């Protein structure tokens, strides 16, 4: 099971950093109940192993004038691996596309896009997204509001699962 190779202290370190990535190592060590030097070693090991991919500030896009958030469901003409990879690369190049997920089913990709206004998004949609090679269809849904936006892992579910199998 993927989280099982981590011990409880490692999982607690990840949970604490996920909740507050700005805390000092001393504070993190205090919260997980170990001293600072081994805590720092564990954090570095978790980073090197890929459990921690980076540290980011959570920015409110609307405060910066990005008033429009849209989910775009994209269908492609071809699902050959080279075509899928080419589309993903194109998505990485488009600044308005903040997330790109390949799906199973009728839709090949779902994109999360942000824009300062509808006309900016419309220009992107017609000038770049629908005009991109291999794009067969695009359906969009404008986000009215966020009911929940929790970009993290539910550690309580992992701990529950690990406790049931122990």
CATH code given to domain 61-142 = 3.30.70.920
Distance (Å) of CA 77 to CA 87, 106, 136, 138: 11, 12, 5, 12
Query: Cα(79)–Cα(84) distance, rounded to whole angstroms?
Result: 6
Reported confidence tier of residue 134, pLDDT bands at 50, 70, 90: very high
Q: Which of 69-73, 132-136, 150-154 has the lowest mean pLDDT?
A: 150-154
Q: Where are the domains of the chain?
A: 1-58, 61-142
β-sheet bridge partners, residue 101: 110
Q: Which of 44-53, 99-108, 145-154 has the lowest mean pLDDT?
A: 145-154
Architecture per CATH, 1-58: Orthogonal Bundle (1.10)
Distance (Å) of CA 12 to CA 32, 35, 36, 67, 115: 6, 14, 15, 36, 36
Which pLDDT score, from 0 to 100, does residue 1 have? 41
Q: At 57, is the secondary structure helix, strand, or coil?
A: coil
What is the pTM for the complete model shown?
A: 0.84
H/E stretch holding 139 reads strand 135-142
Query: Cα(80)–Cα(57) distance, rounded to whole angstroms?
Result: 36
Query: Quick check: 86 and 74 in contact, CB under 8 A?
Result: no
List pLDDT tens digits, range 22-69.
Answer: 999 999 999 999 999 999 999 999 999 999 999 988 899 999 999 999
């Amino acid at each position: 099971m993927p989280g099982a190779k981590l011990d409880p202290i490692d999982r607690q370190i990840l949970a604490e950093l996920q909740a507050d990535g700005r805390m000092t190592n001393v504070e993190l060590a205090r919260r997980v109940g170990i001293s600072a030097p081994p805590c720092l070693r564990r954090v570095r090991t978790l980073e090197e192993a890929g459990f921690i991919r980076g540290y980011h500030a959570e920015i409110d896009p609307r405060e910066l004038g990005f008033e429009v958030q849209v989910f775009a469901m994209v269908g492609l003409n071809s699902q050959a691996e080279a075509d899928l990879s080419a589309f993903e690369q194109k998505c990485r190049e488009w600044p308005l596309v903040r997330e790109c997920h390949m799906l199973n089913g009728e839709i090949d990709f779902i994109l999360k896009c942000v824009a300062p206004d509808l006309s900016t998004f419309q220009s992107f949609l017609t000038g770049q997204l629908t005009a991109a090679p291999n794009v067969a269809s695009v359906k969009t849904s404008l986000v009215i509001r966020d009911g929940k936006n929790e970009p993290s892992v539910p550690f309580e579910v992992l701990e529950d699962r690990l406790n049931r199998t122990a």
